[in-house]
Protein backbone atom coordinates (compact mmCIF):
# COMPACT_ATOMS: atom_id res chain seq x y z
CA UNK A 1 0.00 0.00 0.00
CA UNK A 2 2.82 2.42 0.84
CA UNK A 3 4.45 1.79 -2.52
CA UNK A 4 1.17 2.59 -4.31
CA UNK A 5 0.86 5.81 -2.30
CA UNK A 6 4.36 6.81 -3.40
CA UNK A 7 3.49 5.87 -6.98
CA UNK A 8 0.37 8.06 -6.76
CA UNK A 9 2.33 11.03 -5.40
CA UNK A 10 5.05 10.63 -8.04
CA UNK A 11 2.44 10.47 -10.79
CA UNK A 12 0.57 13.60 -9.74
CA UNK A 13 3.48 15.68 -8.48
CA UNK A 14 3.63 17.34 -11.88
CA UNK A 15 0.05 17.51 -13.14
CA UNK A 16 0.88 19.12 -16.49
CA UNK A 17 3.46 16.48 -17.35
CA UNK A 18 1.11 13.69 -16.29
CA UNK A 19 -1.74 15.16 -18.36
CA UNK A 20 0.46 15.34 -21.44
CA UNK A 21 1.64 11.77 -20.84
CA UNK A 22 -1.92 10.47 -20.42
CA UNK A 23 -2.95 12.22 -23.64
CA UNK A 24 -0.17 10.52 -25.59
CA UNK A 25 -0.86 7.08 -24.18
CA UNK A 26 -4.61 7.54 -24.67
CA UNK A 27 -4.03 8.26 -28.33
CA UNK A 28 -2.08 5.02 -28.79
CA UNK A 29 -4.83 3.06 -26.98
CA UNK A 30 -7.44 4.75 -29.17
CA UNK A 31 -5.46 3.63 -32.22
CA UNK A 32 -5.58 0.06 -30.89
CA UNK A 33 -9.35 0.35 -30.44
CA UNK A 34 -9.73 1.67 -33.98
CA UNK A 35 -7.58 -1.01 -35.61
CA UNK A 36 -9.34 -3.81 -33.72
CA UNK A 37 -12.69 -2.18 -34.49
CA UNK A 38 -11.90 -2.11 -38.19
CA UNK A 39 -10.64 -5.70 -38.00
CA UNK A 40 -13.76 -7.02 -36.25
CA UNK A 41 -16.02 -4.88 -38.43
CA UNK A 42 -14.39 -6.30 -41.53
CA UNK A 43 -14.93 -9.83 -40.25
CA UNK A 44 -18.62 -9.16 -39.72
CA UNK A 45 -18.99 -7.42 -43.07
CA UNK A 46 -17.21 -10.21 -44.96
CA UNK A 47 -19.75 -12.80 -43.78
CA UNK A 48 -22.76 -10.54 -43.24
CA UNK A 49 -24.76 -11.99 -46.13
CA UNK A 50 -24.89 -15.45 -44.56
CA UNK A 51 -26.70 -14.07 -41.52
CA UNK A 52 -29.65 -13.17 -43.74
CA UNK A 53 -30.43 -16.83 -44.43
CA UNK A 54 -31.41 -19.78 -42.27
CA UNK A 55 -29.60 -23.00 -43.13
CA UNK A 56 -27.76 -25.85 -41.46
CA UNK A 57 -25.47 -26.97 -44.28
CA UNK A 58 -24.26 -25.52 -47.56
CA UNK A 59 -22.88 -27.00 -50.76
CA UNK A 60 -20.31 -24.99 -52.72
CA UNK A 61 -17.91 -25.71 -55.55
CA UNK A 62 -14.63 -27.34 -54.52
CA UNK A 63 -12.77 -24.33 -55.95
CA UNK A 64 -14.79 -21.87 -53.86
CA UNK A 65 -12.64 -19.38 -51.92
CA UNK A 66 -14.86 -16.58 -50.67
CA UNK A 67 -18.04 -14.59 -51.32
CA UNK A 68 -16.24 -12.01 -53.42
CA UNK A 69 -15.25 -14.62 -56.01
CA UNK A 70 -18.17 -17.06 -56.25
CA UNK A 71 -17.68 -20.29 -58.20
CA UNK A 72 -20.61 -22.17 -59.70
CA UNK A 73 -21.39 -25.89 -59.63
CA UNK A 74 -24.04 -28.07 -61.23
CA UNK A 75 -27.52 -27.76 -59.71
CA UNK A 76 -27.90 -31.53 -59.98
CA UNK A 77 -25.57 -31.82 -56.98
CA UNK A 78 -28.17 -30.05 -54.84
CA UNK A 79 -30.89 -32.29 -56.23
CA UNK A 80 -28.78 -35.30 -55.26
CA UNK A 81 -28.60 -33.93 -51.74
CA UNK A 82 -32.39 -34.15 -51.38
CA UNK A 83 -32.13 -37.95 -51.48
CA UNK A 84 -29.93 -38.07 -48.37
CA UNK A 85 -31.83 -39.08 -45.20
CA UNK A 86 -32.24 -36.15 -42.83
CA UNK A 87 -32.31 -33.45 -45.49
CA UNK A 88 -35.50 -31.45 -44.98
CA UNK A 89 -35.34 -28.92 -47.82
CA UNK A 90 -32.92 -27.13 -50.13
CA UNK A 91 -32.58 -23.53 -51.31
CA UNK A 92 -30.68 -22.03 -54.24
CA UNK A 93 -28.71 -18.86 -53.52
CA UNK A 94 -26.94 -17.33 -56.49
CA UNK A 95 -24.40 -14.50 -56.33
CA UNK A 96 -22.90 -12.68 -59.30
CA UNK A 97 -21.06 -9.42 -59.90
CA UNK A 98 -22.79 -6.86 -62.04
CA UNK A 99 -23.03 -3.22 -63.02
CA UNK A 100 -25.81 -0.93 -61.85
CA UNK A 101 -26.64 2.08 -63.99
CA UNK A 102 -28.70 5.01 -62.81
CA UNK A 103 -30.60 5.88 -66.00
CA UNK A 104 -31.15 9.46 -64.83
CA UNK A 105 -27.48 10.33 -64.28
CA UNK A 106 -25.83 7.67 -66.44
CA UNK A 107 -23.48 6.72 -63.57
CA UNK A 108 -22.40 3.08 -63.53
CA UNK A 109 -21.57 1.35 -60.24
CA UNK A 110 -20.33 -2.12 -59.33
CA UNK A 111 -22.84 -4.28 -57.49
CA UNK A 112 -23.63 -7.82 -56.36
CA UNK A 113 -26.84 -9.43 -57.58
CA UNK A 114 -28.46 -12.18 -55.51
CA UNK A 115 -30.84 -14.75 -56.91
CA UNK A 116 -33.06 -16.57 -54.41
CA UNK A 117 -35.82 -19.18 -54.31
CA UNK A 118 -39.30 -18.15 -53.05
CA UNK A 119 -38.95 -20.05 -49.78
CA UNK A 120 -39.53 -17.76 -46.75
CA UNK A 121 -38.39 -20.45 -44.30
CA UNK A 122 -34.81 -19.97 -45.52
CA UNK A 123 -34.88 -16.16 -45.33
CA UNK A 124 -34.31 -14.37 -42.02
CA UNK A 125 -34.79 -10.78 -43.20
CA UNK A 126 -38.50 -9.81 -43.05
CA UNK A 127 -38.10 -7.12 -45.72
CA UNK A 128 -36.82 -9.66 -48.22
CA UNK A 129 -39.62 -12.06 -47.27
CA UNK A 130 -42.20 -9.32 -47.81
CA UNK A 131 -40.59 -8.53 -51.16
CA UNK A 132 -40.80 -12.09 -52.53
CA UNK A 133 -44.05 -11.44 -54.49
CA UNK A 134 -42.51 -8.32 -56.07
CA UNK A 135 -39.33 -10.02 -57.32
CA UNK A 136 -41.34 -12.78 -58.99
CA UNK A 137 -42.34 -10.13 -61.53
CA UNK A 138 -40.15 -9.94 -64.62
CA UNK A 139 -36.95 -7.91 -64.12
CA UNK A 140 -37.96 -6.62 -60.70
CA UNK A 141 -35.42 -6.34 -57.86
CA UNK A 142 -35.12 -5.35 -54.23
CA UNK A 143 -32.34 -2.84 -53.60
CA UNK A 144 -30.16 -2.36 -50.53
CA UNK A 145 -31.10 1.03 -49.09
CA UNK A 146 -27.51 1.37 -47.81
CA UNK A 147 -26.10 1.21 -51.34
CA UNK A 148 -23.67 3.90 -52.48
CA UNK A 149 -25.12 7.29 -53.41
CA UNK A 150 -24.04 6.68 -57.04
CA UNK A 151 -26.98 4.29 -57.29
CA UNK A 152 -29.11 7.42 -57.47
CA UNK A 153 -32.79 7.49 -56.56
CA UNK A 154 -33.68 3.98 -55.35
CA UNK A 155 -37.31 4.65 -54.50
CA UNK A 156 -39.80 1.86 -55.13
CA UNK A 157 -41.05 1.97 -58.71
CA UNK A 158 -37.96 3.65 -60.15
CA UNK A 159 -36.21 2.24 -63.20
CA UNK A 160 -32.50 1.40 -63.55
CA UNK A 161 -30.29 -0.98 -65.50
CA UNK A 162 -28.35 -4.07 -64.48
CA UNK A 163 -25.76 -5.04 -67.08
CA UNK A 164 -27.71 -3.21 -69.74
CA UNK A 165 -31.15 -4.66 -68.93
CA UNK A 166 -33.83 -2.37 -67.53
CA UNK A 167 -35.11 -3.33 -64.09
CA UNK A 168 -37.77 -2.00 -61.76
CA UNK A 169 -37.15 -1.44 -58.05
CA UNK A 170 -39.90 -3.39 -56.30
CA UNK A 171 -38.75 -2.83 -52.71
CA UNK A 172 -35.83 -2.26 -50.36
CA UNK A 173 -33.93 -4.10 -47.67
CA UNK A 174 -30.95 -3.30 -45.45
CA UNK A 175 -27.69 -5.19 -45.75
CA UNK A 176 -24.86 -2.65 -45.72
CA UNK A 177 -21.19 -2.58 -46.49
CA UNK A 178 -19.62 -4.94 -48.99
CA UNK A 179 -15.89 -4.73 -49.82
CA UNK A 180 -16.10 -5.84 -53.42
CA UNK A 181 -19.05 -3.76 -54.66
CA UNK A 182 -21.06 -0.63 -53.86
CA UNK A 183 -24.32 -2.35 -53.00
CA UNK A 184 -26.67 -5.31 -53.30
CA UNK A 185 -29.78 -6.18 -55.27
CA UNK A 186 -32.01 -9.24 -54.74
CA UNK A 187 -34.27 -10.90 -57.26
CA UNK A 188 -35.80 -14.29 -58.04
CA UNK A 189 -33.61 -16.96 -59.57
CA UNK A 190 -35.60 -16.79 -62.79
CA UNK A 191 -34.83 -13.07 -63.07
CA UNK A 192 -31.24 -13.73 -61.99
CA UNK A 193 -30.53 -16.04 -64.92
CA UNK A 194 -32.20 -13.58 -67.29
CA UNK A 195 -30.23 -10.56 -66.02
CA UNK A 196 -26.84 -12.28 -65.76
CA UNK A 197 -27.15 -14.61 -68.76
CA UNK A 198 -26.02 -17.44 -66.48
CA UNK A 199 -26.85 -21.08 -67.15
CA UNK A 200 -29.83 -21.97 -64.89
CA UNK A 201 -28.28 -25.42 -64.44
CA UNK A 202 -25.37 -23.86 -62.51
CA UNK A 203 -25.69 -22.32 -59.04
CA UNK A 204 -23.44 -20.61 -56.49
CA UNK A 205 -24.70 -21.88 -53.12
CA UNK A 206 -26.94 -24.78 -52.22
CA UNK A 207 -28.41 -24.16 -48.77
CA UNK A 208 -29.74 -27.15 -46.87
CA UNK A 209 -31.97 -27.49 -43.82
CA UNK A 210 -32.07 -30.76 -41.87
CA UNK A 211 -34.93 -32.45 -40.03
CA UNK A 212 -33.19 -32.58 -36.67
CA UNK A 213 -30.49 -30.03 -35.64
CA UNK A 214 -28.82 -32.78 -33.61
CA UNK A 215 -28.10 -34.70 -36.81
CA UNK A 216 -26.37 -31.91 -38.74
CA UNK A 217 -22.95 -33.50 -38.59
CA UNK A 218 -24.34 -36.93 -39.48
CA UNK A 219 -26.11 -35.54 -42.55
CA UNK A 220 -22.98 -33.58 -43.45
CA UNK A 221 -20.83 -36.73 -43.44
CA UNK A 222 -23.40 -38.62 -45.51
CA UNK A 223 -23.49 -35.81 -48.08
CA UNK A 224 -19.70 -35.90 -48.33
CA UNK A 225 -19.85 -39.64 -49.05
CA UNK A 226 -22.51 -39.39 -51.73
CA UNK A 227 -21.58 -36.21 -53.58
CA UNK A 228 -18.73 -36.06 -56.14
CA UNK A 229 -15.47 -34.29 -55.43
CA UNK A 230 -16.40 -31.21 -57.50
CA UNK A 231 -18.34 -29.88 -54.50
CA UNK A 232 -17.72 -29.59 -50.75
CA UNK A 233 -20.11 -29.42 -47.81
CA UNK A 234 -19.81 -27.03 -44.86
CA UNK A 235 -22.00 -26.44 -41.87
CA UNK A 236 -23.18 -22.88 -41.22
CA UNK A 237 -20.55 -21.94 -38.61
CA UNK A 238 -17.78 -23.51 -40.68
CA UNK A 239 -18.71 -21.45 -43.74
CA UNK A 240 -18.79 -18.21 -41.74
CA UNK A 241 -15.44 -18.93 -40.06
CA UNK A 242 -13.91 -19.83 -43.40
CA UNK A 243 -15.10 -16.60 -44.98
CA UNK A 244 -13.82 -14.49 -42.10
CA UNK A 245 -10.51 -16.33 -41.88
CA UNK A 246 -9.87 -15.86 -45.58
CA UNK A 247 -10.66 -12.17 -45.49
CA UNK A 248 -8.64 -11.45 -42.34
CA UNK A 249 -5.64 -13.72 -42.90
CA UNK A 250 -5.27 -13.63 -46.69
CA UNK A 251 -6.72 -10.39 -48.00
CA UNK A 252 -4.49 -7.30 -47.59
CA UNK A 253 -7.10 -5.34 -45.62
CA UNK A 254 -7.10 -7.79 -42.70
CA UNK A 255 -3.30 -8.00 -42.67
CA UNK A 256 -2.99 -4.19 -42.60
CA UNK A 257 -5.36 -3.92 -39.64
CA UNK A 258 -3.38 -6.56 -37.72
CA UNK A 259 -0.13 -4.70 -38.36
CA UNK A 260 -1.90 -1.52 -37.28
CA UNK A 261 -2.72 -3.08 -33.91
CA UNK A 262 0.92 -4.12 -33.43
CA UNK A 263 2.29 -0.69 -34.39
CA UNK A 264 -0.21 1.11 -32.13
CA UNK A 265 0.72 -1.16 -29.24
CA UNK A 266 4.44 -0.54 -29.73
CA UNK A 267 3.82 3.22 -29.87
CA UNK A 268 2.09 2.99 -26.49
CA UNK A 269 4.96 0.97 -25.03
CA UNK A 270 7.53 3.50 -26.27
CA UNK A 271 5.58 6.53 -24.98
CA UNK A 272 5.06 4.99 -21.55
CA UNK A 273 8.69 3.86 -21.38
CA UNK A 274 9.95 7.36 -22.19
CA UNK A 275 7.75 8.87 -19.49
CA UNK A 276 8.78 6.38 -16.82
CA UNK A 277 12.43 6.51 -17.83
CA UNK A 278 12.51 10.30 -17.54
CA UNK A 279 10.75 10.24 -14.18
CA UNK A 280 13.08 7.57 -12.77
CA UNK A 281 16.16 9.47 -13.98
CA UNK A 282 15.06 12.58 -12.06
CA UNK A 283 14.38 10.54 -8.92
CA UNK A 284 17.52 8.39 -8.75
CA UNK A 285 18.65 10.12 -5.54
CA UNK A 286 15.24 9.47 -3.99
CA UNK A 287 15.48 5.78 -4.88
CA UNK A 288 19.04 5.69 -3.54
CA UNK A 289 17.72 7.14 -0.27
CA UNK A 290 15.11 4.40 -0.06
CA UNK A 291 17.84 1.81 -0.58
CA UNK A 292 19.92 3.46 2.16
CA UNK A 293 16.92 3.22 4.49
CA UNK A 294 16.78 -0.52 3.91
CA UNK A 295 13.97 -0.82 1.39
CA UNK A 296 14.40 -3.74 -1.00
CA UNK A 297 14.77 -3.47 -4.75
CA UNK A 298 11.39 -5.19 -5.17
CA UNK A 299 9.72 -2.49 -3.08
CA UNK A 300 11.31 0.21 -5.24
CA UNK A 301 10.35 -1.66 -8.39
CA UNK A 302 6.74 -1.82 -7.20
CA UNK A 303 6.67 1.99 -7.11
CA UNK A 304 7.61 2.17 -10.78
CA UNK A 305 5.13 -0.57 -11.72
CA UNK A 306 2.46 1.29 -9.77
CA UNK A 307 3.15 4.47 -11.72
CA UNK A 308 2.92 2.60 -15.01
CA UNK A 309 -0.38 1.01 -14.02
CA UNK A 310 -1.80 4.35 -12.89
CA UNK A 311 -0.87 6.10 -16.13
CA UNK A 312 -2.14 3.23 -18.24
CA UNK A 313 -5.44 3.10 -16.34
CA UNK A 314 -5.91 6.86 -16.53
CA UNK A 315 -5.20 6.71 -20.27
CA UNK A 316 -7.58 3.81 -20.92
CA UNK A 317 -10.71 5.58 -19.67
CA UNK A 318 -10.70 8.55 -22.10
CA UNK A 319 -9.56 6.24 -24.94
CA UNK A 320 -12.59 4.02 -24.28
CA UNK A 321 -14.91 7.03 -24.34
CA UNK A 322 -13.47 8.42 -27.57
CA UNK A 323 -13.56 4.95 -29.16
CA UNK A 324 -17.30 4.67 -28.46
CA UNK A 325 -17.87 8.01 -30.21
CA UNK A 326 -15.61 7.27 -33.18
CA UNK A 327 -17.17 3.82 -33.70
CA UNK A 328 -20.60 5.41 -34.05
CA UNK A 329 -19.28 8.04 -36.47
CA UNK A 330 -17.55 5.43 -38.65
CA UNK A 331 -20.69 3.28 -38.75
CA UNK A 332 -22.83 6.27 -39.71
CA UNK A 333 -20.47 7.33 -42.51
CA UNK A 334 -19.51 3.93 -43.94
CA UNK A 335 -22.03 1.36 -42.57
CA UNK A 336 -19.07 -0.75 -41.46
CA UNK A 337 -20.42 -2.77 -38.49
CA UNK A 338 -17.95 -1.55 -35.86
CA UNK A 339 -19.14 -2.62 -32.41
CA UNK A 340 -17.58 -1.68 -29.09
CA UNK A 341 -18.41 -4.91 -27.31
CA UNK A 342 -17.52 -5.74 -23.68
CA UNK A 343 -15.15 -8.39 -25.03
CA UNK A 344 -13.30 -5.85 -27.17
CA UNK A 345 -13.12 -3.36 -24.28
CA UNK A 346 -11.72 -6.05 -21.96
CA UNK A 347 -9.17 -7.22 -24.54
CA UNK A 348 -7.84 -3.69 -25.05
CA UNK A 349 -7.68 -3.24 -21.27
CA UNK A 350 -5.54 -6.36 -21.01
CA UNK A 351 -3.31 -5.05 -23.80
CA UNK A 352 -3.02 -1.76 -21.92
CA UNK A 353 -1.98 -3.53 -18.72
CA UNK A 354 0.64 -5.61 -20.54
CA UNK A 355 1.83 -2.40 -22.19
CA UNK A 356 2.41 -0.86 -18.75
CA UNK A 357 4.13 -4.02 -17.53
CA UNK A 358 6.59 -4.17 -20.43
CA UNK A 359 7.36 -0.45 -20.21
CA UNK A 360 7.96 -0.52 -16.48
CA UNK A 361 10.22 -3.59 -16.63
CA UNK A 362 12.46 -1.89 -19.21
CA UNK A 363 12.44 1.52 -17.56
CA UNK A 364 13.15 0.18 -14.06
CA UNK A 365 16.53 -1.10 -15.16
CA UNK A 366 17.74 2.41 -14.30
CA UNK A 367 16.89 1.85 -10.63
CA UNK A 368 19.95 -0.38 -10.41
CA UNK A 369 22.03 2.78 -10.86
CA UNK A 370 20.58 4.26 -7.67
CA UNK A 371 23.65 3.79 -5.41
CA UNK A 372 23.30 4.90 -1.74
CA UNK A 373 27.07 5.51 -1.63
CA UNK A 374 26.64 8.43 -4.02
CA UNK A 375 24.57 10.28 -1.42
CA UNK A 376 27.69 10.94 0.72
Confidence of residue 375 (pLDDT cuts 50, 70, 90): very low
Q: Is the pLDDT of residue 372 over 60?
A: no
Mean pLDDT score, 102-122:
92
Q: Is the pLDDT of residue 73 over 50?
A: yes
Q: Is the pLDDT of residue 376 over 70?
A: no
Q: Which residues pair with 208 in a beta bridge?
A: 57, 90
Label residue 13 exposed, middle or buried (CB < 10 Å: 0-12, 13-18, 19+). exposed
User: Are the CB atoms for 359 and 273 separated by under 8 Å?
Assistant: yes
Mean pLDDT score, 89-95:
96
Nearest-5° Cα angle at 128, 199 to 156? 95
Provide the pairing of β-strand 73-74 with 184-188: unpaired
Summarised one tens digit per residue, pLDDT across range 173-231 is 988 766 667 889 999 999 999 999 999 999 999 999 999 989 999 999 999 999 999 99
2-16, 57-71, 182-196, 198-212: least confident range: 2-16
Mean pLDDT score, 58-75:
89
Enter the DSSP assignment of 123: B
pLDDT of residue 3: 57
Q: Is the pLDDT of residue 281 over 60?
A: yes
To the nearest whole number, what is the mean pLDDT of the chain?
A: 85
Residue 175 or residue 137, greater confidence: 137
22-31, 215-224, 320-329: least confident range: 22-31
133-142, 284-293, 314-323: least confident range: 284-293
Mean pLDDT score, 258-269:
87
Provide the pairing of β-strand 108-116 with 184-188: parallel
Q: What one-character-per-residue DSSP string does 243-258 give?
A: HHHHHHHTSHHHHHHH
Torsions phi, psi of 58, nearest 5? -145, 140
Share of the chain above pLDDT 70, in %: 84
The C-alpha atoms of residue 328 and residue 315 are separated, in whole angstroms, by 21
Q: Is the pLDDT of residue 71 over 70?
A: yes
User: Are the CB atoms for 175 and 146 separated by under 8 Å?
Assistant: yes
Q: What one-character-per-residue DSSP string does 19-82 give?
A: HHHHHHHHHHHHHHHHHHHHHHHHHHHHTGGGGGB--SEEEEETT---TTS---EETHHHHHHT
Sequence-distant (≥ 6) Cβ neighbours of residue 362 within 8 angstroms: 273, 277
User: Are the CB atoms for 208 and 56 separated by under 8 Å?
Assistant: yes
The C-alpha atoms of residue 230 and residue 62 are separated, in whole angstroms, by 5
Nearest-5° Cα angle at 326, 321 to 331? 135
Q: Is 0.85 topped by the overall pTM?
A: no
Sequence-distant (≥ 6) Cβ neighbours of residue 218 within 8 angstroms: 86
Amino acid sequence: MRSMLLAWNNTFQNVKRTTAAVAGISFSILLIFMQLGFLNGSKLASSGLYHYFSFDLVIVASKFLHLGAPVEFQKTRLMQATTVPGVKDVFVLNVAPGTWKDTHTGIRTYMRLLGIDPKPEFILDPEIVNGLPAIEKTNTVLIDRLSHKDYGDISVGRKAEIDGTEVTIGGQFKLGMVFFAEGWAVTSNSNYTRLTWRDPRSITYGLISVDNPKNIQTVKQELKKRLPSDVVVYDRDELIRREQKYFINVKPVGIVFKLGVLVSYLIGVVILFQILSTDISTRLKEYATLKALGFSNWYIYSIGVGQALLMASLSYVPALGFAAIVFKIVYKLSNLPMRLTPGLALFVLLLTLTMSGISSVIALQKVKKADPAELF
